[in-house]
Structure 1
Amino acid sequence: GLQLPLHRLCGVFYTHVGFYLNQVLMTSALQTFAFVCAFFALGQALDTNFADGAIGLSASYFGLLYFVFVLASMLPLVLEKCVEEGLRAALGSVANSLLSLSPVFASFQSKMMGYYFESTVHYGGAQYIPTGRGLATAREPFSKLFQTFAASHLQEGFELAVLLCFGSAVRYEWPFYLCMTFSIFSWTFAPFLFNPRQFDSPRQALRDLASWAAWMCAPGADPGAAWVAWADR
């Protein structure tokens, strides 16, 4: 690796461990930025000009860089479709991806990769989990989804929402609110949106919601039957 040019070395790094490290940095940067903006908003009570720096930062860097990152992620697909099938097919592919909420799933997947990569680096314990070679299409109840994604997505999504509420005392630029709302939505609602056969039966969804509420309120020592036992694990 020491003999490679810098641009080739960066490419090799990003296609290996750098890709997962980038997911961690994206998540950490988003959380840090939300905290800093809330801090500046609360500090405005001491000095009316205290939040000017945060407003300028959100207007100049955050929204612009976020959009550049999203566009850079979609650019290879657009160029490939444009070269092979033409501009109309490329635009149709982009429209289909947007209508199928692919960006929401991509944000959710990025958060998941960053969370488990960081957990593996901190605590170790990486192991192979045999899952077979079949495609998992089973529908999971709300309580199971909550147990699976609470630590990695839901808690931090609600944390961002709280910080955004504190930061609402300052009027930031619209790209900041758009990017933050998109991240909060993808982290908190993507597990339920992409649950197989989620919207086939509204009655089943209501039963799942009632089962989740009962699991949240039930006492007991079984983590699968009571939220209190699950949280104390």
Structure 2
Amino acid sequence: MVRFHYGHPDVFDRLFHLTRGGVSKASRSINLSEDIFAGFNSTLRGGNVTHHEYVQVGKGRDVGLNQISKFEAKVANGNGEQTLSRDIYRLGHRFDFFRMLSCYFTTVGFYFSTLLTVFTVYVFLYGRLYLALSGLEEGLATQRKFSHNHALQVALASQSLVQLGFLMALPMMMEIGLEKGFGKALSEFIMMNLQLASVFFTFSLGTKTHYYGRMLLHGGAQYRSTGRGFVVFHAKFAENYRLYSRSHFVKGIELMTLLIVYQLFGQTSHSTIAYIFVTSSMWFLVLTWLFAPFLFNPSGFEWAKILDDWSDWNKWISNRGGIGVSPEKSWESWWEIEQEHLKHTGTLGIIFEIILSLRFFIYQYGLVYQLTITNNNKSIVVYLISWLVILVMLVILKIISVGRRRFGANFQLFFRLIKFMIFVSFFAILVVLIVLLHMTIKDILVCFLAFLPTGWGILLIAQACRPLFRVTGLWGSVRALARAYEVIMGMLLFTPITVLSWFPFVSEFQTRMLFNQAFSRGLQISRILGGQKKERAAS
């Protein structure tokens, strides 16, 4: 007795609902999923929502990954609004215990549990990183009662089974087994995994978490049209980047950085089996968040499409924004729209955004003292020197930003020569410091892993405090820093896709995986005919 909503209700008992709160929620800034509030109001006034199926017809459904992600983003935003509403609060206080549990599971509870799942991954990795960088993990590992503890490895093995989701799949196996037999249930489970269902649902986990969490912190829910067309076209790399950059790619690269650092300094990494047990599910999460959009993208690994995507990406990332320039044409316009939620958030949302960004500085603080050139010096001066290096790099970016604005149009060749000389001088000084300080390859990697997240943290705080940076005239430097990070992330994502596109069997495997045999054959024929038409046009 906790059903409130059945999609878009085609038939309302209008007089009944008008006397019990109305058919929709009248609000200017909240309630994207407005229809469900009619069910909330009716239930709060003692009624029950019933469903009568008069005519059932076929309805267009989302079949492409981008369409599904937009729909899930819209629903996650709506559930965030429901979480903040007084209606759910009142229902939770007035239901009995069992109806309250059912209400939690069928409304906001699913999204809140999803948020907790991803939050637990962050807490686990940052906790492990703290143990590794502070020396506590080494101290525990060298103690007699903890060394050669085979029981601990067995416990980690069982934990990895839980992380891989076998216990989550057990209820589904039981349900199918009771309906169709356990042999059929096992075969369906194997087929689902061969069709990469685990990859799809892990990717959807990131979509729900991002938009639900952003809605709770800053608000700004909006309707997203999906289209519901039969998706056979190739989505360009820039389109996938715009759609999944903040929800998946940034988070995936952060988790990947944490896993690499833990592999470098963690005691568990000395044991290959233990490291695999601890981090295998998280590596699966990272790879899924980074590359699932390209895996489920038709013709995502065709060499001709890759060349077109690279040209389109370069044009998009280089174009300057302005009035009337759409986000699909310019990176600057897209970047401005991506910060809309920060413009309308409250003071508490800005404070939370800054607090969450501080994790990158704590992370840098732990890594700086792991460098061999510090000679185990734990003085605060070492940390301050690392900030001096960061400030020098920011000053260089500021000089380039001012130079582009003043000399980029009239003295373009002269400005490019100066920029080239600045970069050459900077790298020359860097090489001299590496030689003089006898830095190892591991030290260079640690410096890169320490300073790269720190710059991203500075960027997040600058975006949260946008009015302050505009007044001080530093917003141009912030934009230049943001563009540099976008280029780095784009290269990290594009390089593996380019390498895989060299091998023709990868594209064939993807086509067979995404489409059935008949459609795959038709797609091959259409490619051949399309190639012949191009040859005739060229001749």
TM category, shorter: 0.7 to 0.9
Q: In structure 2, how many angstroms separate the alpha carbons of the residues matched to 1:214 and 1:164?
A: 33
Change (3 A) 1:30 1:180: same
| Letter of the 1:4 counterpart | D
* Aligned twin of 2:320: 220
- What is the CA-CA distance between 1:37 and the residue it aligns to? 1.4
Secondary structure of 2:300's aligned partner: coil
Q: 2:293 aligns with which of 191, 204, 209?
A: 191
| Letter of the 2:163 counterpart | Y
* Aligned twin of 1:4: 96
Q: In structure 1, how many angstroms separate the alpha carbons of the residues matched to 2:185 and 2:138?
A: 48
- What is the CA-CA distance between 1:42 and the residue it aligns to? 1.6
More displaced 10-residue stretch of structure 1: 56-65 or 13-22: 56-65
Q: In structure 2, how many angstroms separate the alpha carbons of the residues matched to 1:151 and 1:62?
A: 30
* Aligned twin of 1:141: 236
- What is the CA-CA distance between 1:193 and the residue it aligns to? 0.9
Q: 1:208 aligns with which of 300, 309, 328?
A: 309
- The answer to whether the aligner puts 1:93 opposite 2:188 as a matched pair is yes
More displaced 10-residue stretch of structure 1: 94-103 or 167-176: 167-176
Q: Is the Cα–Cα contact under 8 Å of residues 215 and 226 in structure 1 kept in the other structure?
A: yes
Q: Is the Cα–Cα contact under 8 Å of residues 40 and 51 in structure 1 kept in the other structure?
A: no
Provide TM-score, normalisation by structure 2.
0.38
| Letter of the 1:202 counterpart | W
More displaced 10-residue stretch of structure 1: 206-215 or 97-106: 206-215
Secondary structure of 1:140's aligned partner: coil
Q: Is the Cα–Cα contact under 8 Å of residues 299 and 305 in structure 2 kept in the other structure?
A: no
* Aligned twin of 1:49: 139
Provide TM-score, normalisation by structure 1.
0.81
| Percent of pairs with identical residues | 28
- The answer to whether the aligner puts 1:118 opposite 2:222 as a matched pair is no
Matches within 5 A, 1:150-161: 150-161=245-256
Q: In structure 2, how many angstroms separate the alpha carbons of the residues matched to 1:71 and 1:47?
A: 29
Q: 1:84 aligns with which of 171, 179, 186?
A: 179
Q: In structure 1, how many angstroms separate the alpha carbons of the residues matched to 2:307 and 2:171?
A: 41
Q: Is the Cα–Cα contact under 8 Å of residues 111 and 208 in structure 2 kept in the other structure?
A: yes
Q: 1:162 aligns with which of 257, 267, 274?
A: 257
Query: Structure 1: where are the runs of 5+ without partners?
Result: none
Q: Is the Cα–Cα contact under 8 Å of residues 252 and 286 in structure 2 kept in the other structure?
A: yes
Q: Is the Cα–Cα contact under 8 Å of residues 43 and 50 in structure 1 kept in the other structure?
A: no
Q: In structure 2, how many angstroms separate the alpha carbons of the residues matched to 1:61 and 1:78?
A: 19
| Letter of the 2:252 counterpart | G
- What is the CA-CA distance between 1:26 and the residue it aligns to? 1.0
CA deviations on 1:34-87 (whole Å, 9 max, x unpaired) are 12212222222x87316789x9799388635424xx224322332232223222
Q: In structure 1, how many angstroms separate the alpha carbons of the residues matched to 2:234 and 2:218?
A: 31
- What is the CA-CA distance between 1:210 and the residue it aligns to? 4.4
Q: Is the Cα–Cα contact under 8 Å of residues 66 and 179 in structure 1 kept in the other structure?
A: yes
Q: 2:104 aligns with which of 7, 10, 13?
A: 13
| Letter of the 1:205 counterpart | I
| Letter of the 1:207 counterpart | D
Q: Is the Cα–Cα contact under 8 Å of residues 41 and 51 in structure 1 kept in the other structure?
A: no
Q: In structure 2, how many angstroms separate the alpha carbons of the residues matched to 1:62 and 1:73?
A: 13
Change (3 A) 1:132 1:144: closer
Change (3 A) 1:42 1:228: farther
Change (3 A) 1:129 1:143: closer
Structure with higher RCO (Cα < 8 A, 6+ apart): 1
More displaced 10-residue stretch of structure 1: 159-168 or 115-124: 115-124
Q: In structure 2, how many angstroms separate the alpha carbons of the residues matched to 1:138 and 1:51?
A: 53
| Letter of the 1:161 counterpart | M
Q: 2:282 aligns with which of 180, 189, 198?
A: 180
Q: In structure 1, how many angstroms separate the alpha carbons of the residues matched to 2:295 and 2:108?
A: 30
| Letter of the 1:183 counterpart | L
| Letter of the 1:63 counterpart | S
Change (3 A) 1:47 1:102: closer
Q: Is the Cα–Cα contact under 8 Å of residues 157 and 277 in structure 2 kept in the other structure?
A: no
Q: 2:126 aligns with which of 35, 38, 58?
A: 35
Change (3 A) 1:27 1:137: farther
Secondary structure of 2:160's aligned partner: helix
